[in-house]
Structure 1
Amino acid sequence: MDLSSKKLFSHKIKTAQEILDVIGARPRNHKVIMCHGTFDVVHPGHIRHMLYAKTKADILIASLTADQHITKGDMRPYVPEDLRAINLAALEMVDYVLIDHDPTPLKNLGKLKPDFFAKGYEYTAGAINLKTQGEIDVLDSYGGEMIFTPGDIVYSSSALIELSPPSIAIEKLMTLMEGEGITFKDLRNALAVLRDVSVHVVGDTIVDSYTYCSMIGGMTKTPTMSVRYEKKVDYTGGAAVVAKHLCAAGANVTFSTVLGNDEYKNFVLNDLEISGVNCLPIIDETRPTTNKNAIVAETYRLLKVDTLDNRSISEKITERLRKQINDVDAQVVVFSDFRHGIFNRGTIPTLSAAIPNGAYKVADSQVASRWGNILEFEEFDLITPNEREARFALGDQDSVVRPLAGELYRRAKCKTLILKCGARGIIVYRSSKLSFRAFFVVESFADRVVDPVGAGDALLAYSTLAMAVTKNEVISSILGNIAAGVECEHEGNWLVTPDQVLKKIDAIEKIVNYGLPS
């Protein structure tokens, strides 16, 4: 699908008032029939339903439920409302398409007053439910009639999607970009100005170690596994690698952290210096530099040995961090929380209050094995939790993802929420003056997943910098998700560069243009 697809059918996609202006008020010389549904995937059952409806009237209006009111199924709707409207408008038997922004079609039924309202045959089974009765009551109020279409073939869009989700990531992306007036040139322009944004990262440093061994066997007298040591490799992780990702994306990065007085401290400081990160370490003689050592044999992780102290930092160190946050002149401040001493209920209010006025405030909570709560970073400009962290913060293990994201956005009082959903991509909620697209989905751009480690860090880096320079949630989300896709295609916590993101943008545009030069 190219950007002109919607234009081909825009004369069919109208508001309720626009349709009323065309068809006129009752009584009419021509018959009007209306059908309503989600139409997440248009399948043969839908086609038969609408073909039959068209035989009963001169004009067929297809009404579809807006994204915001679809809460059935995970990551639904799978197809966004603009693209669903295009799908229906492309059908010859459909005369007009209406995106209904109310939870039920009752208001538009009363406004348009169609002669007939078509429902699927499955609605005749058993007692009439309350929703159908409400529709009948509106029809009776002006003399309309309910028609149940023959339905020897009945499909469920949700069932079809669960069986085999259609691959429409590019189509969904283009629909989103077209609806927001964004072009590939805008993405490239944004990428070009990420450089030199000043960012202050504050958070827990972790040294991730991998001790590689080979299996020898087990002990005969005790259930003890025996391995032979081969090598040990250390990586700078935690908030430190977030700082490195931002630096690789082109930012001028200052990093405030707490380290122990040990060899890992020296390793971290040397690595950050090589990476171009300006580190302002606070040395705590009473704790070690956090180290997480995975014992690996034949690609299997046998054991993880952590050397750490998760006590809250002292009041003295809290004050030194507060002063650094207040004194560093940065356009963006990122709190990267791994719950290893810096951030907790006692320190977060103090450190948050120290952020200079006008700085763009970002919080990321990565608590794989610790207790943390993204809701403690209240009223930040951007938060980027994953689904697990969102469920923990809300105490909700049952809701499907989209309503879960909406509730987290409301409770966090943030301006923008990017909820990371792994291979399914991201859901974005934003504060917008627009009456539509208060949330949107961007699917993953990883062509082949080699290693997802670091994808969230890459997304955070590019989304944060793009928001700082463009103030556009859609551009920042797309760039962040593309960077995450690049990250997934490499082993380990790969530092994604703007050139790599640009290459991925070029590849996506080539697909959109069917391989033709842009």
Structure 2
Amino acid sequence: MKKVLVTGKFDLLHPGHIRLLKFAKECGDHLTVAVLSDSSCEEPCRISESHRLEMLNSLECVDQAFISSDDASIIIHKIKPAIVVKGKEFEERNNPELSALQCYGGKLIFGSGEFESNAEQFIRRNSSAKNHFDFKEIKEYISRHRIRQPDIDNTLNTIQKLDVLVIGEVIVDEYVQGTAVGLSQEDPTIVMTPNKTDTFLGGAAITAGHIKAIGARKVNLISVIGEDKASNYVKKYIDNYELDTYLYTDNSRPTPLKTRYRAGTKTLLRVNNVRQHKISLELQADIFNKVENLIPELDIVVFSDFNYGLLPQTLVESITKLCENNNVKIVADSQSSSQVGDISRYKNMDLITPTEREVRVALNNPDDGLVILAQKLAKKSQAKNVVITLAEEGLFIHLPSQDFSKWENDKLPAINKHAVDPAGAGDCFLAASSLALCTGAPIWQACYLGSLAAACQVGSVGNTPLKRITLEKAIEDSFK
């Protein structure tokens, strides 16, 4: 039997840890994990050694785990594993385990696992759980960060005093709901019969809509649309969101339209009618002049970038400098699920919220684990807070120090375990967490609110503004 050993603190077990351990398990037959004891850790852990051990034992890929105060070299001499696995980020560092392994021919392997995999599936779960909202881990998170319900209530009240500007592409989201009737005999294609079509305002419009619905005093929206049926839909329904809207027309591009074909709760196909070339210099100047006029009354600017050309780098840099000169907070989300984007081009943001794929693309880094990945992005972009969203795995929170020499991490799971439509989770998280951060709330509290908002949002089909009363009910339930 080929034994594999991994050692570490495993404080606040996150998906990056799980992927590393899954990779380690695949390197041999039996995975042993040595968990550093509380007394042997240089810096105090947020989670006690017994709880850390319990979390590791809950993983299907871990065969054995134990608490140890010994150095890795001593542990290696005791159990003589065939392989020791460490994260990819340690490959170019000094690794004392190597000399201990060489004594008997053991190997040291570096790897961080495959980021495309879903780490959640490797956690042993109680299959009888029926509730859609799972507050177990968020209650532990609340306890770790000493979050109190009166503080959350105060944050929600302060949000009502904020003036916000959202800049980004307005998208029309079309849902064609139907019934899958079978497989075509001519070619391997699913055949569906459409039953109804629902249309929603998405993109930067829904981000602004969430911000207004959650309670911001005034929300401005700047965007560019075409001259087509989709633009007529935007003009007809945008007022329902109670925004102060500034829409500029560009005849060279269509209004972004995304059509999803769905059967039951599954999306079969998505068709995007978009263009990605940059808006003209004239339009850029018009947008900057509008931001310049609005800036004296603003508390925060939100870049809701879908990388369809509305936010060229020069415009982003000009608006960022304008915000810095006027002490206006800035947050950014640069989505690139089916298009090319670079979240790291948003410099000096108070918060950035990329997906893991978007971070790896921005850094050209397929190897590093989540912690090192987040730190490299924070350093490159000079972001004050980085939140990496992980779809059904939840999110990873990274708080760097001012000189980027140290950092704190935490994670939050996906609270809604039965998402009906995940399309609006990121927009809703960005809206709620940005507002909370703007009130002066710590990043931990901002992410708590953002996670609850996202959990509420994914419970129904279509991205519509989250009702504040729905969020308040989820907050109340999380503290019970």
* SS in structure 2 of the partner of residue 481 of structure 1: helix
**Alpha-carbon distance in structure 1 between the residues aligned to 2:414 and 2:162:** 26
The answer to whether 1:187 aligns with 2:144 is no
1:26 corresponds in structure 2 to: none
**Alpha-carbon distance in structure 1 between the residues aligned to 2:197 and 2:244:** 27
The answer to whether 1:495 aligns with 2:452 is no
Does structure 2 conserve the Cα–Cα contact (< 8 Å) formed by 1:85 and 1:99? no
The answer to whether 1:412 aligns with 2:376 is no
Displacement of 1:303 in angstroms is 4.7
Deviations 1:125-180 (A, max 9, x none): 899x9636999xxxxxxxxxxxxxxxxxxxxxxxx99853579x866545554454
**Alpha-carbon distance in structure 1 between the residues aligned to 2:399 and 2:446:** 12
Change (3 A) 1:432 1:130: closer
Displacement of 1:200 in angstroms is 0.2
Match of 1:343 among 311, 323, 340: 311
**Alpha-carbon distance in structure 2 between the residues aligned to 1:248 and 1:460:** 13
Displacement of 1:468 in angstroms is 0.6
The answer to whether 1:245 aligns with 2:215 is no
Match of 2:48 among 73, 80, 84: 84
1:30-69, aligned counterparts within 5 Å?
38=9, 62-65=38-41
Q: Which consecutive residues of structure 2, in runs of 5 or more, have no partner in the other structure?
A: 1-6, 14-33, 55-66, 85-93, 101-118, 127-133
Change (3 A) 1:322 1:435: closer
2:78 corresponds in structure 1 to: 121
1:164 corresponds in structure 2 to: 123
1:198 corresponds in structure 2 to: 163
Match of 1:315 among 255, 277, 281: 281
- How many residue pairs are counted as aligned between the two chains? 407
Does structure 2 conserve the Cα–Cα contact (< 8 Å) formed by 1:39 and 1:84? no
1:341-420, aligned counterparts within 5 Å?
341-355=309-323, 357-420=326-389
Alignment-mate amino acid for residue 79 of structure 2: E
Displacement of 1:287 in angstroms is 2.6
**Alpha-carbon distance in structure 2 between the residues aligned to 1:39 and 1:431:** 19
1:81-480, aligned counterparts within 5 Å?
81-85=45-49, 87=51, 121-123=78-80, 131=96, 163-165=122-124, 173-174=138-139, 176-212=141-177, 230-251=195-216, 252-296=218-262, 303-328=269-294, 329-355=297-323, 357-432=326-401, 438-480=408-450
**Alpha-carbon distance in structure 2 between the residues aligned to 1:81 and 1:62:** 7
Alignment-mate amino acid for residue 471 of structure 2: V
Larger radius of gyration: 1
Displacement of 1:182 in angstroms is 2.9
* SS in structure 2 of the partner of residue 419 of structure 1: strand
Alignment-mate amino acid for residue 193 of structure 1: T
Does structure 2 conserve the Cα–Cα contact (< 8 Å) formed by 1:66 and 1:99? no
* SS in structure 2 of the partner of residue 202 of structure 1: strand
**Alpha-carbon distance in structure 2 between the residues aligned to 1:133 and 1:397:** 24
**Alpha-carbon distance in structure 1 between the residues aligned to 2:121 and 2:169:** 39
1:10 corresponds in structure 2 to: none
Does structure 2 conserve the Cα–Cα contact (< 8 Å) formed by 1:444 and 1:485? yes
Does structure 1 conserve the Cα–Cα contact (< 8 Å) formed by 2:276 and 2:307? yes
Does structure 2 conserve the Cα–Cα contact (< 8 Å) formed by 1:214 and 1:228? yes
**Alpha-carbon distance in structure 1 between the residues aligned to 2:293 and 2:422:** 36
1:152 corresponds in structure 2 to: none
Displacement of 1:400 in angstroms is 2.4
Change (3 A) 1:62 1:118: farther
Change (3 A) 1:214 1:437: closer
Deviations 1:108-130 (A, max 9, x none): xxxxxxxxx88783148899x96
Q: Which consecutive residues of structure 1, in runs of 5 or more, have no partner in the other structure?
A: 1-35, 42-48, 51-60, 68-79, 91-97, 107-116, 136-159, 511-518
1:54 corresponds in structure 2 to: none
**Alpha-carbon distance in structure 2 between the residues aligned to 1:447 and 1:188:** 26
**Alpha-carbon distance in structure 2 between the residues aligned to 1:287 and 1:130:** 55
Displacement of 1:346 in angstroms is 4.6
Does structure 1 conserve the Cα–Cα contact (< 8 Å) formed by 2:426 and 2:454? yes
Alignment-mate amino acid for residue 156 of structure 2: L
Alignment-mate amino acid for residue 423 of structure 1: E
Deviations 1:321-374 (A, max 9, x none): 111112112101011111112123354323433436211101101122111100
State the percentage of identical aligned residues. 26
**Alpha-carbon distance in structure 2 between the residues aligned to 1:126 and 1:297:** 47
With CA pairs under 8 Å and 6+ residues apart, which has the higher RCO, 1 or 2?
Answer: 2
Deviations 1:298-338 (A, max 9, x none): 76655544333322100100001111112112101011111
Displacement of 1:401 in angstroms is 2.2
Displacement of 1:272 in angstroms is 1.9
Q: When the two structures are superposed, what TM-score results if normalisation uses the length of structure 2?
A: 0.72
Shifted more, 434-443 versus 454-463: the winner is 434-443
Shifted more, 206-215 versus 400-409: the winner is 206-215
Alignment-mate amino acid for residue 173 of structure 2: D
Change (3 A) 1:120 1:164: farther
**Alpha-carbon distance in structure 2 between the residues aligned to 1:245 and 1:99:** 48
Displacement of 1:420 in angstroms is 0.7
Does structure 2 conserve the Cα–Cα contact (< 8 Å) formed by 1:309 and 1:340? yes
**Alpha-carbon distance in structure 2 between the residues aligned to 1:354 and 1:239:** 21
**Alpha-carbon distance in structure 2 between the residues aligned to 1:170 and 1:226:** 39
Does structure 2 conserve the Cα–Cα contact (< 8 Å) formed by 1:37 and 1:63? no
Alignment-mate amino acid for residue 38 of structure 1: K
Shifted more, 462-471 versus 172-181: the winner is 172-181
Deviations 1:434-492 (A, max 9, x none): 99862222222225322222111111111000001124111111111111122222332
Shifted more, 183-192 versus 171-180: the winner is 171-180
Give RMSD over aligned pairs. 4.3
Does structure 1 conserve the Cα–Cα contact (< 8 Å) formed by 2:371 and 2:409? no
**Alpha-carbon distance in structure 1 between the residues aligned to 2:83 and 2:363:** 38
The answer to whether 1:509 aligns with 2:473 is no
Does structure 1 conserve the Cα–Cα contact (< 8 Å) formed by 2:265 and 2:421? no
Q: When the two structures are superposed, what TM-score results if normalisation uses the length of structure 1?
A: 0.67
